[in-house]
Chains A and B, each alone.
Chain A
Amino acid sequence: MTDAAISTRKDMSERKLGMLLLLPAAVLLSLIVLYPIATLLFTSLHSVSNANPQAGEQWVGLANYARAFDDDRFWHSLWQTVLYIVITVPGALLMGLGLALLANKPFTIKWPVRLGLLLPWALPLVFCGLIFRWFFEYETGIVNDLLVRLGAEPLRWLSSPTLATIAICITIIWKSSSFMALMLLAGLQSIPKSLYEAAEVDGASKWQQFVEITLPMLRPAIFVALIFRTITAIQTFDIPYAMTGGGPGDATETLAMYIHKTTLDFLDFGYGSTLATLMFLLSLVATSGYLKYTRRSASRSGED
């Protein structure tokens, strides 16, 4: 048999094997999310009049999307969401990187540090928001307490738009930096010490070592962490919901909160589905940059 024939045979069976290995994932996905997502897209093209829901769903084509375009509240919640993304994704990355580097040091007793690293992750999200809401409370919160002790005035954190946004961002960064740190720590641990030793011998400073060795080796881990932090950031709901309920007015309302309200509170499923689809498109746009990077790096490693 020729070499070409053997390699084609190998390719074919590799393909079959690949399909087989992907089958469980495909089955799970089809079973659980295929129908809901299809329904979502379908519903976004329909509308139910809330004053007369018994009339059923009417086909409205893209009218819901047009409505979103004119909807001030939609644009504001979108803007607020983008704000949270722009602040908390890099913020969490930086803090996570810092925490991971600190946690990577040789401790004699490891577990308190590792536990401290992961505890924010372990705290149920639902309560994270409530606890930090309490921290930022006007009279009984520790943040204002510390401010007063330092001689400053207490601030109305949760009832002024700018301060509330800051408080929410601090909470989100605190919670998600744990996730980032976890991803980065695993990456840090797989960087062989020999590289650092060699660099040390060559006379590189700590900063140079960081920039030339650590960061590049961490790139895949950073990349994965960023993608998921971004997707999650787009869906920011629990923390602002618990801390301000969207207030004051609608100042801190995110797109996810607006979708939640529209779907479960107003029972406007058609418009709610439209907003959800728009959120999906936003996620696509946001991560397309990352995806281009995958293609490049995948082809690069393929050349190995």
Chain B
Amino acid sequence: MGFNFNRKAVVWFAAIIVAVNGFFPAVWIFLTALKTETELIKSPITYLPQAPTLANFETAFTAQPILRFMWNSFVVASLSTVLCVLVSALAAYALTRLRMPYRNLIMSVLLAVAMFPLISLMVPLFKVMRELGLLNTYLALILPYAVLSLPVCTLVMASFFQDIPPDLEAAAMIDGCTRVQALFKVVIPLSAPGVFTAAILAFVNAWDEFLLALTMMSRVSMRTLSVGITLYQGEFAFPWPLISAALIIAIVPICIIIAIFQERVVGGLTSGGVKG
């Protein structure tokens, strides 16, 4: 009885620590969004808003087309994630499952691509997109974002693929599958946590990205969220309450997406079946 109590307390304690660590800035931003600018510089600082107002949220919606920004971010992030996960799944399979020459060299090259700072690649990259006629289109971001996350997604999936014994594919192939079918029917489902981890990584990388989004999309209607929010800022002014409201509006959808997918990432799809 006493032992159970301890365990429950530990579990609750753990839950609180993790939740507080993650939530406190978000809560702070939310409270700030309800304040006015002068209230922010009171000393000692106030935590709860003294006269909560929704005006900032209203301004956030009207001052910029924030919903459009969110939609653009969502389109770009999801399509680049799908592309990236697909391409890296194929690549990871080739590198871990098939007898290929220069496997390590290829892996190293993939990694090396991630080692160049994006800033220094901007001018030629801009020229490439211009020559391809892709500026101010979604592809101008989808393609680079897929490339940006390619190394990490490939490595993540490779490490998950490696843990799956080859007998399962052999079994499937005996049953008449080709290798590629085995990849999609056997290997990928079994490495679901890996696949979804890679997907979340790629998605958030794309969602967060600033520099490419700034340069490739100059038309306001094509702007993504991370750039769009900076447009609330003034040359001299940084309207914290307004930007906080915009941030809250921006964070909510991604929270929903994470809440949906986290089950898949940590869901018990691997319990049983493989390691049992």
Please give the residue numbers on chain A whose beta carbons come within 8 Å of chain B beta carbons, in ascending order. 11, 14-15, 17-19, 21-22, 24-25, 28-29, 31-33, 35-37, 39-40, 99, 102-107, 110-128, 130-132, 134-135, 139-142, 145, 148-149, 174, 178-179, 182-183, 185-186, 189-190, 192-194, 220-221, 223-224, 227-228, 231, 234-235, 237-238, 256, 259-260, 263-264, 269, 272-273, 275-276, 279-280, 283-284, 287, 291, 294-295, 298, 301, 304
Contacts and interface: CB of A to CB of B under 8 A. Distances in A.
Given A25-B87, A33-B121, A220-B159, A116 B18 contact: yes
B45 A142 contact: yes
A21 to B, nearest CB: 4
A182 B197 CA distance: 7
Interface string B1-45: 000000000110011011111110110110000000000111111
B119 interface: yes
B153 to A, nearest CB: 10
Contact of A235 (B88, B98, B117, B259): B117
A256 B119 contact: yes
B90 A25 contact: yes
Contacts of A112: 15, 19
Interface of A is mostly: helix
A12 to B, nearest CB: 10
Given A39-B124, A124-B250, A224-B156, A190 B193 contact: yes
Top 6 nearest A-B pairs (CB, nearest first) are: A116-B22, A276-B120, A283-B115, A116-B19, A102-B14, A36-B121
B60 interface: no
Interface residues of B, number: 106
B138 to A, nearest CB: 15
B255 interface: yes
A256 B128 contact: no
A105 B15 contact: yes
Given A25-B110, A120-B22, A131-B29, A190 B259 contact: no
Given A17-B98, A183-B156, A122 B204 contact: yes
Nearest to B179: A17
A234 B112 CA distance: 13
Q: Which of B18, B26, B147, B276 gathers the greatest number of chain A CB atoms within 10 Å?
A: B18
A111 B259 contact: yes
A182 B265 contact: yes
6 contacts: A25-B150, A114-B266, A122-B254, A178-B22, A228-B152, A256-B119
B162 interface: yes
B99 interface: yes
